[in-house]
């Protein structure tokens, strides 16, 4: 299959803005279009991440149906909101109520919660919180851009 078949929207030269890997990234483009991978064929639109191989060709590294991409953004957004206030909690979450929020989606619930099945959650949540803080410079600008675009969509 030709690389551009069924691709409708593209963000080229992604390697130049790929976070802390900018100018060194092997992720060269992001695309939206018809699914290419067999697992996603039931969905009409998917997002693809294209990676450069050692031979210099581009191939799909990751492909997600559009709804999963949006669900990940919902998970991330709610997580960021949680960690803005988590410093008030000694463990950065309430062990008695690990669910951060239950969001109604598609007639069901997308439950955002701290993973209490993680045996090292106390240590990992501290590292995660610090990592979110450290990534603030990279995520802040992108979140402002996303927020502006989402406002335009309303």
Closest CA to 135 of 124, 123, 146, 143: 143
Q: How many domains does the chain have?
A: 2
Q: pLDDT of 105-133, one tens digit each?
A: 999 999 999 999 999 999 999 999 999 99
Closest CA to 30 of 45, 52, 44, 12: 12
The residue whose two tokens read 């309303």 is: 154
Whether this prediction's pTM lies above 0.85 is answered by: yes
Q: Are residues 147 and 78 in the same domain?
A: yes
Q: Are residues 81 and 60 in the same domain?
A: no
Q: Are residues 60 and 74 in the same domain?
A: no
Residue 137: pLDDT above 60? yes
């Amino acid at each position: 299959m030709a690389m551009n078949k069924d691709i409708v929207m593209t963000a080229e030269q992604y390697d130049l803005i790929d976070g802390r890997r900018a100018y060194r990234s092997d992720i060269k483009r992001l695309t939206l279009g018809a699914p290419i991978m067999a697992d996603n064929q039931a969905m009409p639109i998917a997002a693809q991440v294209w990676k450069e191989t050692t031979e210099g060709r581009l191939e799909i590294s990751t492909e997600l149906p559009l709804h999963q991409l949006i669900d990940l953004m919902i998970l991330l957004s709610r997580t960021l909101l949680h960690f803005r206030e988590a410093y008030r909690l000694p463990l950065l979450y309430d062990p008695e109520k690990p669910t951060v929020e239950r969001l109604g989606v598609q007639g069901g619930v997308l439950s955002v919660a701290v993973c209490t099945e993680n045996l090292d959650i106390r240590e990992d949540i501290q590292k995660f919180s610090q990592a979110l803080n450290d990534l603030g410079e990279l995520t802040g600008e992108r979140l402002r851009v996303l927020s502006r675009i989402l406002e335009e969509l309303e």
